[in-house]
Amino acid sequence: MNVDLIQHTPDPEKVVAAAARLCYSSDAIPDLFEQLNDDKVANFVRRLREMGHLSPFEHVSFQFSIDGVSRALSHQLVRHRIASYSQRSQRYVKENGFEFVIPPSVIQNPEALGRFEAVMSRLQEDYQELLNYVPAEDARYVLPNACTTSLMATFNARSLLNFFEHRTCIRAQWEIRFLAGRMLDLVREVAPNLFSEAGPTCITQGVCRQGTYSCGRLKTLERKK
């Protein structure tokens, strides 16, 4: 899996702070930017987060390139609908000798790994053979969820916070949890105040909304406190 932050709104934290100040100020927008120093920006962002007033976070966006992830992951990713996606098409791009993601549980079991790789090899051959008879858009129906794909994804900061809340949770599926963790590391490098409290609710809010499916981490954190 390769994940990169391609670009983002310049000076994202100042943009958020200026947007918040605009709601309560008669000053012109350029003047609002000039009045904000680093301490004021950090303070504004912290107060917005504490009050749950997150609409100013929607004014900044972050664009990622995501490569070498499975179709199983991409099907989960697009469930986060307040984002924009572009994905490599299996209709127009042929998957000759496609690469695939192997789950850790399969890698750790020699018998499972042998069966898994055998299935992937057979599907590669079947797909290649089908291309001799039908268009790629129809041959792709035999491609597995393990087949790798590439995406570009653009989120605003508020949507990212929601994404991190759900996908850094221990109960999230392992591949998208790894992706979320990598994305969180990347945005914290350029906007540490915006994402200082990003993560699962057991850590950020001291609550767990998984009910009977809870992993139990919240109780562990409470005992440590």
Q: Which of 167, 188, 209, 223 is catalytic?
A: 167
167 is an active site residue: yes
Average pLDDT over residues 108-128: 97
Per-residue confidence (pLDDT) for residue 26, from 0 to 100: 67
181-218: pLDDT as tens digits: 999 999 999 999 999 989 888 888 888 887 777 787 76
Q: Is 90 annotated as a binding residue?
A: yes
Q: Is 76 annotated as a binding residue?
A: yes
C-alpha span between 83 and 62 (Å, rounded):
10
Per-residue confidence (pLDDT) for residue 50, from 0 to 100: 86
Could you give the domains of the chain?
A: 2-67+80-84+152-224 (3.30.1360.170), 91-146 (no CATH)
Categorize the per-residue pLDDT at 222 as very low, low, confident or very high, splitting at 50, 70 and 90: low
Nearest to 29 by CA among 44, 43, 14, 40: 14
Q: Is 47 annotated as a binding residue?
A: no
14-24: pLDDT as tens digits: 999 988 888 77
60-73: pLDDT as tens digits: 999 999 999 999 99
Reported pTM: 0.90
- Residue 219 in this model has a pLDDT that exceeds 70: no
